[in-house]
Structure 1
């Protein structure tokens, strides 16, 4: 059976707490210009001298905290005006598998989820990405630096074994590249590889519903011949791209709401159940249905997209 955590508050939009958009804890907003300059110079000196650490996956925590996340935090706070629900369902310690819906034509939703977990749950979220991400030289390098890795069961299991939070989007490109007319309708969840990983690692699954990403680049068409030529899963046409050129890459300022559901502890199951296709299928379908219902509820709560 799938059991939810004891004592968890019901995921009710009428009672779920709103997480305010405060600056990251510990940020010294009153620091003088001289202090900030000194901090920047010290950071650059450490980078030039190689005085920094990366883990076995290439995760560079200092670079992520001081450079990469601040670059996207402005989008999170001021452009998308992101609010959270159910943050208490993200564990303060220990491993868990965060499973979310994927959308938006460009996968910005993963970065926004990473900012949310980092700034408000005060934990690193290790996202699993498609092979295509790591075939692009600069993008693949930065993804590794940000703590992301390949969506491969071995990597996911190693991260969970270390007590990490791991984020996965089972819809993959089917979700992020679906047409705007199918917004907020979950696509197929693959073969349930994330369930097999959770069973083998004995990790709870935390369903996540992300509302807002569907509207940032409404996909109204697809140039398939050009996509095949470029080796891409799709080449999107939106109301602003490619008509407006590079300006069309600016996401529309939709209102975002991210909801973390109650953890699903896979009680009554063991690692051996990961080899049973029917068990994996049933659990995958249950997680998918849970996230779909969360999406409907969260979409209703958010209201207008802009």
Structure 2
């Protein structure tokens, strides 16, 4: 028998046959099956087409915050799910309807810069005392926006003249926006409740003064606001507003018409009433609002509020602080429209 590599040879009936082992280096694959006569040779695998999967539905974009707030406001109005405090203040209405248009004036029209915001307390009551000017009380509204935005949402509860609450619609709307009558009893209750209260002691004498007397503080009255702050034991924060005097420069006063309408004055400006409603648009002056260093009242004894000389001294101190801040800001201002 001759040696065969990787296989063994056997003789069957005189013929030599080769046996291929199942394992080892001599393994040979079985021959491939012959192609079908009907099939044609192909060099590429057949491609099977499947229908495309439908695209996933796009997720709806979230609604803007302003739209969500408006929808929530409408839902709460329809269901009655909102609160009003004992003074008639509706915080949700103020946040949704009152502050947004005022903020547009604050940021885009008057471009208000604020100073001394660190003097505004984060919690607890305080009395903000400000100068008053501009023919219309826009300075009070802009100060309310500044307080709200700079304190992270605290509302300024303004003390308004009785004329405001006698006007149809205006009075009820003012109460819903946080205003209340300028009296010591209401002021003390708000201050003792931890609210920020705003007062403008010049009153109509301040906003109605002629343009020639701009930035000259009028008399502050008998100091009732100081008494309220002393009884509540809260600080007094002087506030100085520059820019409001030039929004409606008051050149004259139609006193007869003012008496007929029951108003303290009827202003004549360079554009009103000459241009009608167009003349009522305020000039886009550049504003600054400065919150001065607080004047403490909690160091006084309870009976100190009955000392008229002490009350007068504190009143004069607040007035002088505001006046000096006005002079300082005016000296730094280069242009009434650019600041």
Instruction: Report the TM-score range of the alignment, normalised by the length of the smaller protein.
Output: 0.7 to 0.9
* Residue in 2 that maps onto 1:158: 189
Q: Which residue of structure 1 lines up, in the alignment, with residue 292 of structure 2?
A: 261
Alpha-carbon separation, structure 2, partners of 1:213 and 1:34: 33
Residues 1:208 and 2:239 are matched in the alignment:
yes
Distance in 1 between the 2:256 and 2:202 partners?
23
Question: What residue in structure 1 maps to residue 94 of structure 2?
Answer: 64
In the alignment, what sits opposite 1:115?
145
Q: Which residue pairs with 2:121 in the alignment?
A: 91
Name the structure 2 match of 1:15: none
Secondary structure, aligned partner of 1:286: helix
Find the counterpart in structure 2 of residue 105 from structure 1.
Answer: 135
- Which residue is equivalent to 2:313? 282
- 1:301 shift after superposition: 2.3
Taking the aligned partners of 1:103 and 1:139, their CA distance within structure 2 comes to: 20
Given the superposition, is the C-alpha separation of residues 65 and 78 from structure 1 closer, same or farther in structure 2, using an over 3 Å criterion? same
Residues 32-58 of structure 1, C-alpha deviation per residue, up to 9 Å, x if partnerless?
A: 557754543332121122111011111
Structure 1 residue 43 corresponds to structure 2 residue 73: yes
| Superposed counterparts of 1:109-258, under 5 Å | 109-122=139-152, 123-258=154-289
Q: Which has the higher helix share?
A: 1
CA distance in 1, matches of 2:299, 2:310: 12
The aligned counterpart of 1:294 is 325
Change (3 A) 1:259 1:34: closer
Q: Is the 8 A contact 1:257 1:302 kept in 2?
A: no
The 8 Å contact of residues 202 and 270 in structure 1, kept in 2 or not, is answered as: no
CA distance in structure 2 between the aligned counterparts of 1:165 and 1:141, rounded to whole angstroms = 21
Report deviation, 1:267.
Answer: 5.6
The whole-number CA distance in structure 2 between the counterparts of 1:288 and 1:165 is 19
Q: How many residue pairs are counted as aligned between the two chains?
A: 276
Asked if the contact 2:235–2:298 (Cα under 8 Å) also holds between the matched residues in 1, the reply is no
In the alignment, structure 2 segments of 5+ residues that lack a partner are: 1-60
Distance, in Å, in 2 between the alignment partners of 1:34 and 1:129 is 35
In the TM superposition, what whole-angstrom CA distance separates every residue of 1:147-189 from its partner, at most 9, and x where no partner exists? 1101010000000010111000010000010000000000000
Query: What do you get for the CA RMSD once the two structures are aligned?
Result: 1.4
**TM-score, with normalisation over the residues of structure 1?**
0.87
TM-score by length of 2: 0.79
Q: Structure 1: which 5+ runs fail to align?
A: 1-30
Distance 2:247 2:161 in 1: 21
Question: Which secondary structure state, in structure 2, belongs to the residue aligned with residue 264 of structure 1?
Answer: coil
Contact 2:69 2:96 in 1 (8 A): no
Is 1:54 paired with 2:81? Answer: no
In our comparison, the structure showing a higher alpha carbon Rg is 2
Displacement of 1:204 = 0.5
Q: Tell me the distance in 2 between the aligned counterparts of 1:292 and 1:159.
A: 27
Partner SS for 1:210: strand
Bigger relative contact order (CA 8 A; separation at least 6):
1
Determine the C-alpha separation between the residues in 1 that align with 2:134 and 2:175. 22
Q: Which residue of structure 1 lines up, in the alignment, with residue 103 of structure 2? A: 73
